[in-house]
Structure 1
């Protein structure tokens, strides 16, 4: 493992997803799943998210569209929170989901809207 890249990734992962989410993911790691947690932290968060070509807001919006297409509800909710943490407006999230309705299909977009509303409600309650 490249410790510098892992540490950089852990910092970005915490900034985007929040300490509670990251701490829960790492605490839940087992001998079987620990390697994938390290891999994601090092290469996705440490390398990919630190590339200069896109802003964090742009990366968040792209992730929301791709995760909607894949219909991965757990990851989607984490990335809605991450997008908001990155300064993406609810309006922009809505527009990505509207775009997804056409390209990914209605059921995927409807589920994404439902999940995003759950995250908005939870974050509003945290204030």
Structure 2
């Protein structure tokens, strides 16, 4: 399997077949370059490495996407984190830690996004 197909498989495992199908529907001659980059490099090379497990990668991504205030990507990676075994308590702690180092506005938005994802996955009590 080449890196592009490896990346697509990892994306399916993390975020579901519907996510990949949605990306395919939006693909056009302009965004194809960034989609290929994401599939081949991000998922096909980096996420495929064995140096750290997927749960740790998810934890790192949640923190970084919170710091960068990227709500759309955060929502996708929160879903992936649940798939990778992150618990609701762990997600809460990651976001609280981010509040200290990234600031309350960024973490507050991340908590809001996380609540939506957790509610959609019936994980909120």
Q: Which runs of at least 4 in structure 1 moved beyond 3 Å after TM superposition?
A: none
Write the distance in 2 (CA, Å) between the matches of 1:72 and 1:26. 21
DSSP 3-state at the match of 1:124: coil
Q: Which residue of 2 aligns with 1:107?
A: 105
Q: Which residue of 2 aligns with 1:93?
A: 91
Write the distance in 1 (CA, Å) between the matches of 2:24 and 2:97. 33
Deviations 1:84-114 (A, max 9, x none): 0111111111110000000000010010000
TM-score, L = length of structure 1: 0.93
Q: Which residue of 2 aligns with 1:19?
A: 17
Q: Kindly tell me the number of residue pairs found equivalent between the two proteins.
A: 123
Question: Over aligned residue pairs, what C-alpha RMSD do you find?
Answer: 1.2
C-alpha displacement at 1:43, in angstroms?
0.7
User: What pairs with 1:1-127 in structure 2 (closer than 5 Å)?
Assistant: 4-124=2-122
TM-score, L = length of structure 2: 0.95
Write the distance in 2 (CA, Å) between the matches of 1:122 and 1:111. 17
Unaligned runs of 5+ in 1: none
Write the distance in 1 (CA, Å) between the matches of 2:23 and 2:114. 20
Write the distance in 2 (CA, Å) between the matches of 1:48 and 1:26. 21
Unaligned runs of 5+ in 2: none
